[in-house]
């Protein structure tokens, strides 16, 4: 492909200005690059706008802290110079009262109150109460009016909450995602035990992914091996068994597992019929159900890469080892397995990466104890509308995915990923 196509074209040879062959070549090469680059460009632009930019914006949100600064810009400015020990100077009170009057009843004010309530429950009503008491009655100073509205405005601690959020960026959400927080003195400390779950959630996300991956490998390896060692006709039939579930909607499969695993479902009925159990087992809305369904959904992603690698391994290697006196199991382990290792690596990484981001299956088949990182992202987005927290958790999940994806592309080369997934 290295020969530029234009060389065969007559107009390139009869160029008007005499050019060296080298120049012509370079020019033709540039032209080709431009031409084909233009083919790639629309997709690049499309993905930048619809995929990369939104994700970048989301990641940025994890450090954004706009509420206080945009509702109280002047107060924020002044609070940044405050020593933080004694009650702030009158100027701060005046600016704050001014800005409350200016914004009260508006969404900007409500957003700031909500943001402060996040720091200290009860701050919302303090703000609403204060807003109702303003503007100061004639003759009263801003300080008097605020303290009159609520004595807490006299305490430096109250102002600390404002001061600590008087900058447009904060690490609070990211810290909270790893169970850390700022204490009243502004130091990073361990979060309270009743709020500290995210380290646990991420450990759970990775742990569950690892278990699902292990099961997929355990179940997928024999089948892939069988397929690879059968004549094409049989292998094709087996392939249909693998690919049909792969093509079936995830929701269909989740519904089917629900039907199979419920307390009156087929699995329990069969087990009871054979006298293996007397009482129906609890198989759904706990980890059992989630694992079964996840392994089922992700198994084809393990089998397909394994198969594509195994198909290329000649059975004569193992046969040779056996004929040279090496026991079959040992020959398999020493000769075949190392050759299949790229497939194992690719399959495991693919399953692990996909598993980490799962949301639907645990949401429908699990209890709160089986929910992975994605669930918490959705929770903060929809339920409490804490988009900073959703963004911070996303950032960590995204970083983990990115690292594994880089390893994966190094392993298999990004290009033929889906080709393998076929």
Partner 1 sequence: MTRTTTAVRPIAAACAALCLVAGTASADVTVISFGGTNQKAQEKAFYQPYTKTTGGKIVAGEYNGEQAKIKAMVEAKNVTWDVVEVESPELARGCEEGLYEKLDMGKIGPKADFVPAALSECGIGIFVWSTVLAYNGDTLKNAPASWNDFWDLKKFPGKRGMRKGAKFTLEFALLADGVKPEDVYKTLGTKAGADRAFKKLDQIKSNIQWWEAGAQPPQLLAAGDVVMSTAYNGRIATAQKEGKNLKIVWTNNIYDFDSWGIPVGTPNKEEAYKFIAFASKPENQKVFAGEIPYGPTNVKGTALVDKAIVPQLPTAPQNMKGALASNTQFWVEHGEDLEQRFNAWAAK
Partner 2 sequence: MIATYATPLERVWHYAFRAICGLVLVFLMLPILVIAPLSFNADSFLLYPMSGFSFKWYEEFLTSPAWRQAFMNSCIVSPFATLLAMALGTPAAVGLARIEFPGKALLTSILISPMVVPVVIVGVATYLVFAPIGLSGSYLGLIIVHAALGVPFVLTTVTATLQGFDFNLVRAAASLGANPLTTFFRVTLPLVAPGVISGGLFAFGTSFDEVVVTLFLAGPEQSTLPRQMFAGIRENISPTIAAVATILTILSTFMLITLEWLRRRSERLRSQGH
Contacting positions for partner 1 (CB under 8 A): 38-39, 42, 105-107, 110-111, 113-114, 117-118, 121-122, 124-125, 128, 194-197, 200-201, 262-264, 285, 367-369, 371, 376, 379, 381-386
Residue 240 binding target from partner 1, partner 2, none, CB below 5 to 8 Å by type? partner 2
Residue 281 binding target from partner 2, partner 1, none, CB below 5 to 8 Å by type? none
- In whole angstroms, the minimum distance from the beta carbon of 106 to partner 2 comes to 18
Residue 113 binding target from partner 1, partner 2, none, CB below 5 to 8 Å by type? partner 1
In 48-141, alpha helices (H)? 53-61, 66-71, 73-79, 90-103, 107-119, 123-133
What residues numbered 82-141 form the site for partner 2, per CB under 8 A? Answer: none
Closest listed residue to residue 229, CA positions, set 299, 311, 292: 311
Residue 346 is a binding residue for partner 2 (CB under 8 A): no
What residues numbered 311-340 form the site for partner 2, per CB under 8 A? Answer: 328
CB atoms within 10 A of CB 275: 7
Residue 385 binding target from partner 2, partner 1, none, CB below 5 to 8 Å by type? partner 1
- In whole angstroms, the minimum distance from the beta carbon of 85 to partner 2 comes to 39
Residue among 67 and 99 whose Cβ is closer to partner 1: 67
Residue among 60 and 80 whose Cβ is closer to partner 1: 60
Residue 57 binding target from partner 2, partner 1, none, CB below 5 to 8 Å by type? partner 2
Residue 220 is a binding residue for partner 2 (CB under 8 A): yes
Residue 381 is a binding residue for partner 2 (CB under 8 A): yes
Residue among 206 and 285 whose Cβ is closer to partner 1: 285
Residue 383 binding target from partner 1, partner 2, none, CB below 5 to 8 Å by type? partner 1
- Six token digits for residue 353: 């990466």
Q: What is the spatial distance between Cα 30 and Cα 95, in angstroms, rounded to a whole number?
A: 61
In 134-185, alpha helices (H)? 142-149, 156-164, 172-177
- Six token digits for residue 143: 């300080």
Q: How many residues in the shown chain lie near partner 2 by CB under 8 A?
A: 94
- Judged by CB under 8 A, which of 175, 226, 271, 272 binds partner 2? 226
Residue among 160 and 394 whose Cβ is closer to partner 2: 394
Residue 254 is a binding residue for partner 2 (CB under 8 A): yes
- Judged by CB under 8 A, which of 14, 18, 22, 38 binds partner 2? 38
Burial zone of 124 (CB within 10 Å; 0-12 exposed, 13-18 middle, 19+ buried): middle
- The window from 95-103, 146-154, 272-280, 392-400 that contacts partner 2 (CB under 8 A) reads 392-400
Q: What is the spatial distance between Cα 113 and Cα 124, in angstroms, rounded to a whole number?
A: 5
- In whole angstroms, the minimum distance from the beta carbon of 421 to partner 2 comes to 8
What are the backbone angles phi and psi of residue 188, rounded to the nearest 5°? -85, 120
Helix (H) or strand (E) holding 203: helix 198-229
Burial zone of 351 (CB within 10 Å; 0-12 exposed, 13-18 middle, 19+ buried): buried
- In whole angstroms, the minimum distance from the beta carbon of 184 to partner 2 comes to 31
Q: What is the spatial distance between Cα 223 and Cα 225, in angstroms, rounded to a whole number?
A: 5
CB atoms within 10 A of CB 246: 16
- Judged by CB under 8 A, which of 61, 103, 115, 164 binds partner 2? 61
Residue 294 is a binding residue for partner 2 (CB under 8 A): no
Residue 73 binding target from partner 2, partner 1, none, CB below 5 to 8 Å by type? none
Residue among 78 and 393 whose Cβ is closer to partner 2: 393
In order of 12, 39, 209, 269, 291, the CA distances from 341 in angstroms are 50, 37, 20, 40, 25
Residue 117 binding target from partner 1, partner 2, none, CB below 5 to 8 Å by type? partner 1
- Six token digits for residue 148: 């009159």
Beta strands in 298-409 (DSSP E): none
DSSP count for the chain of H helices, then E strands: 23, 2
Q: Do 96 and 72 touch, CB atoms closer than 8 A?
A: yes
The partner residues of 180 in beta bridges, in order of sequence, read 190
Closest listed residue to residue 109, CA positions, set 123, 92, 90, 91: 123
Residue among 230 and 384 whose Cβ is closer to partner 1: 384
CB atoms within 10 A of CB 93: 23
- In whole angstroms, the minimum distance from the beta carbon of 131 to partner 2 comes to 27
Residue among 152 and 311 whose Cβ is closer to partner 1: 152
- The window from 14-22, 167-175, 251-259, 305-313 that contacts partner 2 (CB under 8 A) reads 251-259
């Amino acid at each position: 492909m290295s020969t530029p196509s234009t060389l065969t074209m007559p107009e390139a040879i009869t160029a008007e200005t005499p050019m060296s062959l080298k120049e012509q070549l370079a020019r033709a090469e540039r032209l080709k690059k431009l031409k084909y680059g233009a083919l790639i460009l629309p997709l690049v632009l499309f993905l930048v706008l619809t995929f990369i930019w939104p994700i970048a914006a989301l990641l940025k949100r994890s450090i954004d802290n706009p509420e206080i600064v945009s509702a109280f810009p002047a107060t924020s400015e002044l609070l940044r110079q405050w020593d933080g020990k004694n009650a702030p100077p009158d100027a701060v009170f005046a600016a704050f009262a001014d800005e409350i009057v200016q914004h009260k009843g508006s969404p900007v004010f409500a957003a700031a109150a909500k943001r402060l309530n996040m720091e200290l429950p009860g701050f919302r009503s303090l703000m609403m109460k204060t807003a109702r008491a303003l503007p100061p009655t004639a003759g009263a100073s801003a300080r008097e009016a605020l303290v009159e509205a609520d004595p807490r405005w006299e305490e430096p601690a109250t102002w600390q909450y404002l001061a600590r959020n008087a900058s447009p960026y904060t690490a609070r959400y990211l810290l909270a995602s790893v169970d850390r927080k700022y204490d009243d003195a502004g130091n990073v400390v361990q979060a309270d035990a009743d709020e500290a779950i995210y380290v646990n959630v991420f450990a759970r996300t990775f742990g569950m992914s690892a278990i699902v991956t292990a099961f997929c490998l355990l179940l997928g390896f024999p089948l892939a091996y069988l397929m690879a060692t059968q004549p094409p006709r049989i292998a094709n039939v087996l392939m249909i068994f693998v690919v049909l579930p792969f093509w079936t909607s995830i929701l269909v499969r989740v519904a089917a597992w629900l039907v199979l695993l419920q307390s009156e479902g087929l699995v329990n009925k069969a087990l009871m019929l054979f006298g293996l159990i007397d009482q129906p087992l609890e198989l759904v809305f706990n980890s059992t159900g989630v694992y079964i369904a996840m392994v089922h959904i992700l198994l084809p992603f393990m089998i397909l890469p394994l198969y594509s690698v195994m198909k290329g391994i000649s059975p004569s290697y193992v046969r040779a080892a056996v004929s040279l006196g090496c026991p079959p199991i040992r020959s398999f382990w020493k000769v075949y397995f190392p050759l299949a290792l790229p497939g194992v690596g690719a399959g495991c990484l693919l399953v692990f990466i996909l598993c980490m981001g799962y949301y639907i299956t645990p949401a429908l088949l699990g209890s709160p104890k089986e929910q992975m990182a994605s669930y918490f992202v959705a929770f903060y987005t929809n339920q409490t509308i804490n988009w900073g927290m959703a963004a911070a958790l996303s950032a960590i999940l995204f970083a983990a995915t990115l690292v594994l994806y880089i390893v994966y592309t190094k392993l298999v080369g990004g290009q033929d990923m889906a080709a393998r997934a076929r």
